């Protein structure tokens, strides 16, 4: 029958779509399990270069793994202690900051009214509500910390992934019908993904250091906390940098007035544009680029599927799909669809 191939293709497509929907529903339901696992993969990918460096210097694998895990734990403890101390101090001073911000909003209403611009004081007060801004940031961090509460599970998964790094190539060759081709694809996938994650992490660190320097120069309270926030939210495309800037800019306005706030806005805007639009694309190259539409859609999709952790990992997860699609001619069209224009 002439129509049979078309019917078979349609059937296969429907079955594939149904399977995809079932998988997504399963991932959504198992978010509490999937999110920590993805965080573990992300940490392992960042830590892998250190593991490779140590083993290249003939450090025994067990000792190399121990050193890497100690570095991860030490970094995590340092990060959490600095954030905890800053959040505690900020929470205690929040009523004072809010009182000053309310006074600034009253002055702003008077200034605008004097120039013929009518603004509702209550509406402006709502927009400049520092507690609401920090409440949003805090609720997001609470969900993230809820995921990170599975610290032991995450660290254990990271350790097992790092232990298995050396045997991945052998396993890929054993299970493949074409070992040489499969090994080449695997090496391309792993090296490209690792390169992307390391470069993105370094760019986030650079952004955080620039922000930290500006905050220290301007003498804004809790500079380390705002710098850590800038580092973490730099992984969230489009809105991450804006969310990271809002509380720090408001605090600069409260402490030192509009001039300091304006300078800080310029610093955030400048560093994110220079790093995000010039340095990062140059280091990554076009092969590691994603179109702006894909970045936005991935933020919405992964955020819906996995919550704040999904938003944080939206670009790395989409890059994983793109890099995997590039390794096979049959799926290269998907990589082209996700990538930047030439």
Residue 228: inside a domain: yes
User: Which percentage of the chain shows pLDDT scores above 90?
Assistant: 18
Choose among 268, 259, 262, 264: nearest CA to 221: 264
Instruction: Using the predicted structure, report yes or no on whether residue 2 has a pLDDT greater than 60.
Output: no
Q: Please tell me the total count of domains within the chain.
A: 1
Decide if 129 contacts 136 (C-beta within 8 A).
no
Residue 19: inside a domain: no
- Rounded to two decimals, what is the model's pTM? 0.77
Instruction: Using the predicted structure, report yes or no on whether residue 165 has a pLDDT greater than 60.
Output: yes
Residue 24: inside a domain: no
The string of pLDDT tens digits covering residues 52-110 is 889 888 889 899 999 999 999 998 888 888 887 887 888 788 778 878 877 777 777 67
Residue 101: inside a domain: yes
User: Which percentage of the chain shows pLDDT scores above 70?
Assistant: 80
Count of positions (residues) in the chain? 342
Residue 11: inside a domain: no
Alpha-carbon gap, residue 228 to 145, rounded angstroms: 14
Q: What is the 3-state secondary structure (H, E, C) of 190-250?
A: HHHHHHHHHHHHHHHHHHHHHHHHHHHHHCCCCHHHHHHHHHHHCCCCCCHHHHHHHHHHH
Decide if 226 contacts 211 (C-beta within 8 A).
yes
Residue 92 corresponds to which tokens in the numbers above? 């205690």
Task: Tell me how far CA of residue 224 lies from CA of 82, 208, 241, in angstroms.
Answer: 7, 9, 16
Among the ranges given (178-182, 303-307, 310-314, 336-340), the one the predictor scored with the smallest mean pLDDT = 178-182
Residue written as tokens 């224009």?
341
pLDDT reported for residue 1: 44
Measured N-to-C along each axis, helices 31-56 and 4-29 cross at an angle, to the nearest 10 degrees, of 90
Residue 64: inside a domain: yes
Among 12-16, 57-61, 93-97, 215-219, which range has the highest average pLDDT?
Answer: 215-219
What's the mean pLDDT in 21-26? 86
Decide if 40 contacts 161 (C-beta within 8 A).
yes
Q: What is the 3-state secondary structure (H, E, C) of 276-309?
A: HHHHHHHHHCHHHCCCHHHHHHHHHHHHHHHCHH
Residue 255: inside a domain: yes
With b meaning 16 or more CB within 10 Å and e meaning fewer, what string describes 99-113? eebbebbeeebeeee
Residue written as tokens 């059937």?
11
Q: Structural domain of residue 227, as residue ranges? A: 33-338
The string of pLDDT tens digits covering residues 94-135 is 778 878 877 777 777 677 676 667 666 566 666 666 566 555
Share the mean pLDDT of the chain. 80
């Amino acid at each position: 029958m002439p129509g049979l191939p078309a019917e078979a293709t349609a059937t296969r497509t429907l079955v594939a779509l149904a399977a995809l929907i079932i998988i997504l529903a399963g991932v959504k339901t198992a978010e509490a399990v999937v999110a920590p696992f993805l965080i573990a993969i992300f940490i392992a990918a960042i830590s892998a270069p250190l593991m490779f460096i140590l083993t290249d210097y003939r450090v025994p694998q067990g000792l190399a793994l121990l050193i890497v895990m100690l570095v991860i734990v030490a970094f995590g403890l340092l990060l959490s202690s600095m954030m905890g101390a800053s959040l505690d101090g900020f929470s205690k001073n929040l009523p004072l900051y809010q009182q000053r911000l309310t006074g600034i909003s009253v002055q702003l209403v008077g200034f605008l009214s004097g120039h013929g611009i009518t603004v509702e004081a209550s509406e402006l007060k709502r927009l400049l509500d520092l507690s609401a801004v920090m409440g949003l940031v805090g609720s997001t961090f609470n969900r993230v910390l809820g995921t990170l509460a599975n610290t032991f599970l995450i660290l254990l998964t990271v350790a097992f992934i790092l232990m298995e790094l050396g045997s991945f190539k052998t396993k890929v060759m054993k299970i493949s019908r074409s070992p040489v081709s499969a090994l080449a694809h695997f090496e391309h996938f792993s090296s490209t993904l690792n390169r992307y994650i390391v470069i993105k992490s370094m760019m986030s660190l650079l952004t955080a250091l620039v922000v930290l320097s500006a905050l220290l120069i301007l003498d804004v309270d809790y500079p380390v906390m705002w710098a850590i926030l800038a580092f973490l939210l730099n992984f969230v495309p489009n809105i991450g940098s804006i969310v990271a800037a809002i509380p720090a800019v408001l605090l600069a306005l409260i402490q030192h007035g509009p001039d300091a706030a304006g300078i800080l806005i310029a610093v955030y805007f400048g560093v994110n544009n220079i790093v995000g639009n010039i340095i990062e694309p140059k280091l990554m190259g076009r092969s590691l680029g994603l179109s702006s539409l894909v970045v936005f859609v991935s933020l919405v999709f992964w955020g819906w599927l996995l919550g704040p952790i999904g938003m944080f990992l939206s670009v790395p997860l989409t890059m994983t799909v793109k890099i995997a699609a590039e390794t096979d001619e049959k799926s290269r069209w998907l990589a082209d669809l996700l990538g930047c224009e030439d």
